[in-house]
Amino acid sequence: MTAHTAPRGLPIDPALRAYLDSLAPPPGTPAPATDAQMLAARRAALAGALAARTEIAGLPNGVAARDLRIAGALPARLFTPPGATGPLPLLVYLHGGGWAAGSLDTHDPFCRLLSGAAGMMILCVDYRLAPEHPFPAGLEDARAAARWACAHAAGHGADPARLAIGGDSAGANLAAAALNTLAAAGAGAAFKAQLLLYPVTDHPSGGHASYAENATGYGLEAALMRWFWKTYAPGVAPDLPEVSPLRHPALPLLPPTLVATAQYDVLRDEGIAYADKLRAAGVAVRHLHAGDMHHDFPALPGTVGRFPQCATTLAAIADWLKATLG
């Protein structure tokens, strides 16, 4: 695996610390005792974030959204910015949630914001979730969505010559793994950009220091991330590149990539290491690191409208997409 040096962190944003503390369960609250209770709690937590969508200034921001079925029966939501004229770039987006939670609704606010800021269409994909559908179901859906975009983008007002693929957290893992396999098979040339927001790139057995440094108190906890892995990929070899892109023996030819990481995130070090691995493979990489923020900071409705760093990062992502896709 690629060696790297973690950026020097800033003290955590005091307002973020207060916000994270407000999310902690009251003292004495029993932890979920079973996998079923844990799964229900995680799905409810992400769904609960929808209540904060009205905190985002500008929503609704004029971005149109319509639900459709792609690649057979796969649910998806297509976002189109206002005033669109002519074919637009299209981002195939895989939402986060530990491969076991999240939906089109949980990431609707972020997709609207990014679509409007970048002036591009976004196709958010409702891939199958674990444990009902463990690996490789989500990855298969990600690849199917990518192939669908290549074949059908033009029919929906998008430019098939300006496609991107990306996601956040576990969704970024699916995006990276899908593009790696497509590119290795000679089918990835249509994608001109890759967007990986605080990506999962390695199995917890990789021993990254950020797992210990940020184990508790920052939203995504180390124990929860290990539970997500157990739920998504039971019995799967940790070094399989389709689940751990950082362990890929030789990355294929890939497009320019933006990697975003946060200092107070268990996934910090594997995200930084993957950016380094991409650079070593000759990929043009833009790395955005938030030195005082946590996992999910630019995407969750409760934080985007609350912290200036979120708006700054969102604008940087949008500017990079516009510059990269033209």
Q: Which two tokens stand for residue 276?
A: 């380094």
66-325 topology per CATH: Rossmann fold (3.40.50)
Report the percent of the chain where pLDDT is more than 90: 73
Kindly calculate the radius of gyration of the chain based on its CA atoms and give it in whole angstroms.
Answer: 18
Domain coordinates of the chain in residue numbers? Answer: 66-325
- Please report which confidence band the pLDDT of residue 32 belongs to, taking 50, 70 and 90 as the band edges: confident
The pLDDT value given to residue 120: 97
The pLDDT value given to residue 127: 98
The pLDDT value given to residue 55: 54
- Separation of CA 64 from chain center: 22
User: Does residue 1 register a pLDDT over 80?
Assistant: no
Question: Residue by residue, what is the 3-state secondary structure of the chain?
Answer: CCCCCCCCCCCCCHHHHHHHHHHCCCCCCCCCCCHHHHHHHHHHHHHHHHHHHHHCCCCCCCCEEEEEEECCCEEEEEEECCCCCCCEEEEEEECCCCCCCCCCCCCHHHHHHHHHHHCCEEEEECCCCCCCCCCCHHHHHHHHHHHHHHHHCHHHCEEEEEEEEEEECHHHHHHHHHHHHHHHCCCCCCEEEEEEECCCCCCHHHCCHHHHHCCCCCCCCHHHHHHHHHHHCCCCCCCCCCCCHHHCCCCCCCCCEEEEEEEECCCHHHHHHHHHHHHHCCCCEEEEEEEEEECCCCCCHHHHCCCHHHHHHHHHHHHHHHHHHC
User: Does residue 101 register a pLDDT over 60?
Assistant: yes
Which of 44-53, 132-141, 247-256, 277-286 bottoms out in mean pLDDT, i.e. has the lowest? 44-53
pLDDT digits (tens, 9 = 90+) for 34-91: 999 989 988 888 777 655 555 566 666 899 999 999 999 999 999 999 988 889 999 9
The pLDDT value given to residue 59: 64
pLDDT digits (tens, 9 = 90+) for 181-225: 999 999 999 999 999 999 999 999 999 999 999 999 998 999 999
- Separation of CA 226 from chain center: 17
The catalytic residues are 169, 265, 295
- Please report which confidence band the pLDDT of residue 2 belongs to, taking 50, 70 and 90 as the band edges: very low
The pLDDT value given to residue 183: 97
